[in-house]
Structure 1
Amino acid sequence: MGMAENISIPVNVGVVLDLDSDLDGKIALSCIEMALSDFYATHGDYKTRLVLNTRDSMKDVVGAAAAALDLIKKMEVHAILGPTTSMQANFVIELGEKAQVPIISFSASSPSLTSIRSPFFFRATQNDSTQVNAISALVQVFGWREAVPIYIDNEYGEGIIPYLTDALQAVDARVPYRSVISPSATDDQIVAELYKLKTMQTRVFIVHMYGSLGTRLFAKAKEIGMMSEGYVWIMTDGLTADLLSSPNPSVTETIQGVLGVKPYVPNTKEIQDFRVRWKRKFQLDNPYIIDAELNIYGLRGYDAATALALAVEKSGTKNFGFRKANVSSSSSTDLATDISLNGPNLLQALSNTSFKGLTGDYHFVKWQLQPSAFQIVNVNGNGGRGTGFWTPTKGLVKQLVPSNVANSTSLSGISTVIFPGDPAVAPKGWVNPTEEKKLRIGVPLKSSFKQFVEVKKYPSSNTTNITGFCIDVFDAAVKALPYDLPYEYVPFAKPDGEPAGTYNDLVYQVYLKNFDAVVGDVTIVYTRSLYVDYTLPFMESGVSIIVPIESHTTEKCLSYTASLSSLLTIQRLKVADVNELVNKGEYVGYQKGSSVLGILLGMGFDKSKILEYKSPEECHELFSKGSGNGGIAAAFDEIPYIRLLMPKYRSKYTVIDLSFKMGGFGFVFPKGSPDVSNISREILNMIEGDKMKDLQDKWFGDQTSPDSGTSVSSNSLSIKTFWGLFLIAGIASLFALIIFMVMFVHQEGRVVLRPSDSTTSIWSKIRHLFSIFNQRDFTSHIEMNGRNGIHFPSNDSHGHPSSSECDSGPNSQTPKDVVIFADQLTNPNLEVTVKENQKSNVNHQTPTRTDQRCNAVIHRRSKSY
């Protein structure tokens, strides 16, 4: 044993901690001493031995810097364990880099220290930025939409805030206010800040500060009733460790129901055995401290000392000295330090050190330990009770067991939580302010389209009744919120009852904080969204053109012309498109106060050519005048208004779709208001359900149907439509008949109606004339069939076919009967009999050719059916 001591090489290392009045410092120092004792008891063959040189920083930044400088200059330490706080670490790190002495802090957790980028600083603890996702997961799982951080006003407190804010915003939670408390704040100052928080609506607070200040904060919060039902308190890692390890039972009593996060350290058998040994040693070294408990600082100090001892041994036994810095005597100060010759070697050895420590796997990556799982604790009874865990891969889980469970964002990921006041359900995180101030909701004063918003004043009772579709939608959304939201409607009107301005003026009142919100048929447009926030649209919108229908009833008589197909496709309009209106310089109209004016100017319309209308009646009046007589040729308006306007005038106007979409109608709130997301969620729920449709039916009936507002008169054709065609055809046929009859009578009348036949009556002559007409008609058919290759054979008196055709002569008579039973053209199996009637001439004289008539009586009978 004596020989081993003779060959061992002592290596000075420094320890800078708050030791005078800080329990954590004493606990950490005892664990560091035990770590070295255990390490060299296990590795008795190692040639190096760390020699601790302890300094008390006295909870002061300058004290920590002075202690580190003293250790480097006088004791020539090769590494320093500490300091305690992040603010102290800032100065000590600079000294360590200058002297090339590694600084290993197991409690300085501020993310701001990373920006120093010193290779000689090793963070042997969790970076505070790694716990913000665990905190935001808690906020998300309970559905809290706002949280107020309360933090100490120093580098330690400020370092986590940017990361915490980003993490909360990532889960749709807003930070409406940041409460900053000075490290030297008095109790009265703390109470004043707490009362300020109490008057706000937010009831979720995230506390990030040292244990000493946190203890006072919670004590005062309990005194003024802020540790009661409805409040939510979440502690960060450092404060959780400080308060839960406090030996004072009143501290635990004060924070009943508080949630906290802390790095998860499995309660292994090694830790259980170490806790017993540490308890015994600590009581011997500090007999005046009763009921001290081993905490995370002690465990981290133990592992940090073990890592340093291992790295010193790996770095070798040479160059354990210092060289003088190249500083001239004239510029040298008390801050000038020598440079460690073994610093670079020790730096490399620390970076490569890896072992199994009390807190788990121990390995530096980019000079800091890698984040591990966080445990969610709930203060209940005598201490913290584990309610779940958070890991980067699985989110919130009840147990850390290997599984393929996806990232959890539901309450199934944690056990039951007891909140302050022991409520039956989790707090909503949002309540009414203590002064019960109601939100002032501005509403537009409308003279038309009152289905959306209507303001009725009753002077006799000095009351105002505000109704409408928009009002009902907002009331229903607020009623469904998980918290109470008192409000009152205030008309945007002058004292004389007239509108106080345009919709832009109304929305701007929210930015000026004259109104807390605006409810009405307010269109979501980009320019307004620059200074206010909108909810999701509760009614879709867009811009279309209303144009007159050109009447052309007289033209329908020509429907049989080439324009028939186009006439049946679409009714002819007086206006074809926007370019036609702009190019012709036509006057157009828009609803007064709407955002359509900006669209018209953007389309190229001259402002002098744009007229306003306040109601459907005014719009119709402008159309009646016409563009050249002080009226308009077209009107531009949003689709919801057009659907209300068109049913009354659907026979006179129609709608041209511009395919110009707008944001729709939404409610207006100040920038960053949490009500926006909450009310938007309820609007979406109404749209997906039946509530929104029921409200639309209540106020608009079936006018919200896409076809009802844009229907026009039918273009279908009737018999009356073709009266022109019938007239022309009838006149032409009549003229043809007259001409034919004149020609026929002129040719045949000379024979039939000649005066020599005085014995024949006029009626017989007329009948004879018609017989000739019938014979000609039949002969024309035979001639036509002959030209087509069809012949009609004649029969004799016995019904047999004749060998000769009908003779013609001057004595032949016109047949008296022509009987046609079928059409030979369609049925060739017919029998045709031609019977020639001749005068009673027994000699069968052959008639002359000019008087011959062929009388054919055709009996066509089907041979087979």
Structure 2
Amino acid sequence: MHNKSLLRLLFTTLSPVLVSFCFAQNGTQRVVRVGVILDWDSSVGNLAKDYISVALSDFYAKHENYQTRLDPTMKDSENDVVVAASAALELMKEVDIHAIIGPQRSTQAKFIINLGQKAKIPIISFSATSPSLSPKDNPFFVRTAQDDGSQVKAIASIVHKYGWREVVLIYEDTEYGNGLIPYLTDAFRKINTRVSYRSVISPSSDYQKKILKELGKIMARETRVLLVHVTATIGSEVFRQAAEIGMMSEGFAWIVTDGLSTLLDPVHSNVFDSMQGVLGVRPYVPLSKGLKEFKRKWKRERLLTNKGAKNYMHYYNSEINLFGLWAYDTIWALARVVELVAQKNSSVFRPKTVGMEALGLGVSKSGPMLLKMLERTKFEGLSGEFHLRRRQLKPTAYEITNVIGKRERVIGYWTAKKGIISAAKVANLSRTSSENELKMIVWPGSTKFPPKGWVIPIVGQKLKIGVPVKNGFQEFFKVEWDPHTDEPKFSGFAHDLFLAALDKLPFALPFKFVPYSNSSRKIAGTYNELLYQIKLKKFDAVVGDTTINANRTSYVDFTLPYSDPGVSMVVKIKDNEKKNIWIFLKPLSWDLWLTTGGAVTPEFLRFIFYRNFV
């Protein structure tokens, strides 16, 4: 059994070589060469090579009767625009390819797309996602991925849900980074959210220093909602440095776009330690039967390949990569299309006609037909439905994720029709009725309360709030010291009222209570002296049972009174008297009774005499 697995793995790894060898021996099958341009040293490029090899093996194992076979020629762009362009020219001139898969990066794609347009060769990219590269403006450019612009409404919905009115953008100074910014600013404008600052990071040799400098500028500003649109290399450095200077603490809100969220590895993850509480969006991939089977096979074969490696368990726990799934589906789509075109007119795969002498390129006959068939191709791939709309992958729903521990937890979804919806029902997003709900989010600083998104820019300081220390009448403000930690603890009516007022503010206000006490932990002076500390700038404010009078208003400002002036006494009523119908007689004193009797008696006697003698 072990030997069979090794043989199957060997076939998967060497499939391009085996395919070419077998086709040369079989005259009934036509070899169709395609170019593949990737950055081999990058995480996406390295994974994509494996996914492409597995896709070829799986496709032709399932379609043994096909009369065409894709023969990929791999080229390394070395993360360089010039090298990528040179590789494309070499493939078109010397290898006689009929399509190019790649290039990997949007900056590399711009020039190669122009070459493809002139040679009429489809340039098919599963990772050049910048919306500035539009298939609409480039007829021979096909994007088998979702462009970055499709995620901006999902991001704007998150910002709108929490009522954040300002956002800081952190992005790369590249085609990939700059291409999304106009779409983001437009989406934020529609929800009345302002981009307060744009932090542009150039991917140069000293980008670490530039990141630290930019984070320092952001730290000094009011806005605490930060949207990061960078590649994995720069992104990991941004969060590492942000954690070091305290920007991954309570009060901050971080959101990453799908380019970074998709590339987060849940195990190879020192970067995860500095990304706790970060929100992200990424395209939703339904867990189909085919994807489940692929996951099992992928994990098994990766384990066999890396059995002796030190990070052996990393391969066991590694997740499927979305860019890899798009690369896999791209191979299946192209292999289908090549077979269909060959059935209609196999002569189009003959060498290109001579043209464009200046560059030494020819003009492809197969390119227009391949392009037309690709637009019509529709099937259920590993990443979901493969269906191109205007030569790019049809947008789907988005997952909303939250970094907790060593992985991203899905906390909800976003769809164009319903907006943010609950993660409770994922089998059929179109039937989900629970709207605008997310699972509980753990924000930076391990808090469960959403950040307000704005603070008074006090770098490295908090407002010092002076409070009185006294022995008697502590109901307004009470200060006591913890016997274990020797730290002061605060309570009382004025304390609670102050915290309630802060909670109503639309921004966070960092502060600390400072007891106005001496070494004996008694009040250090009179209330006048306590308030005068504000004028001396030793306190920023005072909270307590302070009275407003004319003398004090000359050096401090008071809030409106929150209690009636004066001192009142409240006592309990004791009433032991029994209640009866003669209670109304109780207020009458003996003097009043005697006076009344003395006045009534003469009149009564006069009445009697008058009656008897008259």
TM range (shorter): 0.5 to 0.7
1:307 lines up with 2:336 in the alignment: no
Residue 349 of structure 1 deviates from its aligned partner by 1.2
Q: 1:384 to 1:53 in 2, by over 3 A?
A: same
1:339 lines up with 2:363 in the alignment: yes
- Distance in 2 separating the partners of 1:206 and 1:275: 31
Q: 1:323 to 1:5 in 2, by over 3 A?
A: closer
1:319 lines up with 2:348 in the alignment: yes
Query: Conserved in 1, the CA contact under 8 Å of 2:23 and 2:31?
Result: no
Alignment of 1:625-664 (within 5 A): none
Question: What value does the CA root-mean-square deviation take over the aligned residues?
Answer: 2.7
Q: 1:212 to 1:160 in 2, by over 3 A?
A: same
Q: 1:414 to 1:83 in 2, by over 3 A?
A: same
Query: Conserved in 2, the CA contact under 8 Å of 1:323 and 1:339?
Result: yes
- Counterpart among 251, 256, 261 of residue 235 in structure 1: 256
For 1:818, the equivalent position in structure 2 comes to none
Q: 1:234 to 1:7 in 2, by over 3 A?
A: same
Work out which of the two has the higher radius of gyration on C-alpha atoms and give 1 or 2.
1
- Counterpart among 27, 32, 39 of residue 18 in structure 1: 39
- Distance in 2 separating the partners of 1:297 and 1:394: 26
Residue 296 of structure 1 deviates from its aligned partner by 0.5
Residue 168 of structure 1 deviates from its aligned partner by 1.2
Query: Conserved in 2, the CA contact under 8 Å of 1:181 and 1:190?
Result: yes
- Distance in 1 separating the partners of 2:199 and 2:224: 13
Query: Conserved in 1, the CA contact under 8 Å of 2:106 and 2:129?
Result: yes
- Distance in 2 separating the partners of 1:51 and 1:93: 21
For 1:79, the equivalent position in structure 2 comes to 99
Alignment of 1:368-387 (within 5 A): 368-387=392-411
Query: Conserved in 2, the CA contact under 8 Å of 1:150 and 1:179?
Result: yes
For 1:224, the equivalent position in structure 2 comes to 245
For 1:490, the equivalent position in structure 2 comes to none
- Counterpart among 395, 420, 430 of residue 454 in structure 2: 430
- Counterpart among 195, 201, 205 of residue 222 in structure 2: 201
Alignment of 1:520-599 (within 5 A): none
Which structure 2 residue ranges, 5 or more long, are not aligned? 1-21, 463-499, 511-559, 561-614
For 1:144, the equivalent position in structure 2 comes to 164
1:389 lines up with 2:416 in the alignment: no
Alignment of 1:280-291 (within 5 A): 280-282=300-302, 291=314
Residue 5 of structure 1 deviates from its aligned partner by 3.6
What does the per-residue CA deviation read over 1:759-783, in whole Å, with 9 as the maximum and x for residues that have no partner?
A: xxxxxxxxxxxxxxxxxxxxxxxxx
Q: 1:231 to 1:46 in 2, by over 3 A?
A: same
TM-score, normalised via structure 1 length:
0.49
- Counterpart among 91, 105, 108 of residue 128 in structure 2: 108
- Distance in 1 separating the partners of 2:103 and 2:430: 40
Q: 1:286 to 1:90 in 2, by over 3 A?
A: farther
For 2:291, the equivalent position in structure 1 comes to 271
1:127 lines up with 2:151 in the alignment: no
- Distance in 2 separating the partners of 1:73 and 1:146: 51
| Partner amino acid, structure 2, of 1:230 | G
Query: Conserved in 1, the CA contact under 8 Å of 2:103 and 2:128?
Result: yes
Residue 269 of structure 1 deviates from its aligned partner by 3.0
- Distance in 2 separating the partners of 1:277 and 1:178: 44
- Distance in 2 separating the partners of 1:479 and 1:26: 49
Q: 1:9 to 1:484 in 2, by over 3 A?
A: closer
Residue 402 of structure 1 deviates from its aligned partner by 5.3
Q: 1:37 to 1:257 in 2, by over 3 A?
A: same
Q: 1:29 to 1:427 in 2, by over 3 A?
A: same
Query: Conserved in 2, the CA contact under 8 Å of 1:393 and 1:406?
Result: no
TM-score, normalised via structure 2 length:
0.68
Residue 34 of structure 1 deviates from its aligned partner by 1.1
Partner SS for 2:349? coil
- Distance in 2 separating the partners of 1:144 and 1:414: 17
- Distance in 1 separating the partners of 2:135 and 2:49: 28
Query: Conserved in 2, the CA contact under 8 Å of 1:322 and 1:339?
Result: no
Residue 285 of structure 1 deviates from its aligned partner by 5.6
Query: Conserved in 2, the CA contact under 8 Å of 1:229 and 1:423?
Result: yes
| Partner amino acid, structure 2, of 1:306 | W
What does the per-residue CA deviation read over 1:457-514, in whole Å, with 9 as the maximum and x for residues that have no partner?
A: xxxxxxxxxxxxxxxxxxx99994322579xxxxxxxxxxxxxxxxxxxxxxxxxxxx
- Counterpart among 50, 55, 59 of residue 39 in structure 1: 59
Q: 1:26 to 1:478 in 2, by over 3 A?
A: closer
What does the per-residue CA deviation read over 1:136-177, in whole Å, with 9 as the maximum and x for residues that have no partner?
A: 111111111111110001111000001011111211211011
Partner SS for 1:429? coil
| Partner amino acid, structure 1, of 2:328 | Y
What does the per-residue CA deviation read over 1:257-287, in whole Å, with 9 as the maximum and x for residues that have no partner?
A: 1011000112233222212322344455667
Partner SS for 1:315? helix
For 1:92, the equivalent position in structure 2 comes to 112
Q: How many residues align?
A: 440
What does the per-residue CA deviation read over 1:360-400, in whole Å, with 9 as the maximum and x for residues that have no partner?
A: 11111111111000000100011000000000001001134
Which structure 1 residue ranges, 5 or more long, are not aligned? 439-475, 487-690, 692-865
Partner SS for 1:65? helix
- Distance in 2 separating the partners of 1:64 and 1:14: 12
Q: 1:425 to 1:119 in 2, by over 3 A?
A: same
- Distance in 2 separating the partners of 1:165 and 1:407: 29
Query: Conserved in 1, the CA contact under 8 Å of 2:80 and 2:108?
Result: yes
- Distance in 2 separating the partners of 1:2 and 1:161: 47
Q: 1:121 to 1:403 in 2, by over 3 A?
A: closer
For 2:279, the equivalent position in structure 1 comes to 259
- Distance in 2 separating the partners of 1:246 and 1:14: 32
| Partner amino acid, structure 1, of 2:62 | T
- Distance in 2 separating the partners of 1:246 and 1:89: 29
Partner SS for 2:242? helix
For 2:381, the equivalent position in structure 1 comes to 357
Alignment of 1:431-510 (within 5 A): 431-435=455-459, 480-483=504-507
Alignment of 1:758-777 (within 5 A): none
For 2:612, the equivalent position in structure 1 comes to none
Partner SS for 2:333? helix
- Distance in 1 separating the partners of 2:502 and 2:116: 59
Residue 118 of structure 1 deviates from its aligned partner by 1.7
Partner SS for 2:133? helix
- Counterpart among 276, 288, 297 of residue 323 in structure 2: 297
- Distance in 2 separating the partners of 1:142 and 1:299: 33
| Partner amino acid, structure 2, of 1:107 | S
- Structure with the greater relative contact order (CA < 8 A, sep ≥ 6): 1 or 2? 2
Residue 119 of structure 1 deviates from its aligned partner by 1.6
- Distance in 2 separating the partners of 1:192 and 1:2: 57
- Distance in 1 separating the partners of 2:322 and 2:503: 47
For 1:554, the equivalent position in structure 2 comes to none
1:49 lines up with 2:69 in the alignment: yes
Residue 186 of structure 1 deviates from its aligned partner by 3.1
- Distance in 2 separating the partners of 1:392 and 1:436: 42
Partner SS for 1:44? coil
What does the per-residue CA deviation read over 1:601-629, in whole Å, with 9 as the maximum and x for residues that have no partner?
A: xxxxxxxxxxxxxxxxxxxxxxxxxxxxx
Query: Conserved in 2, the CA contact under 8 Å of 1:145 and 1:172?
Result: yes
Q: 1:27 to 1:115 in 2, by over 3 A?
A: closer
What does the per-residue CA deviation read over 1:56-77, in whole Å, with 9 as the maximum and x for residues that have no partner?
A: 1111111111111111111011
Query: Conserved in 1, the CA contact under 8 Å of 2:135 and 2:392?
Result: no
| Partner amino acid, structure 2, of 1:80 | I
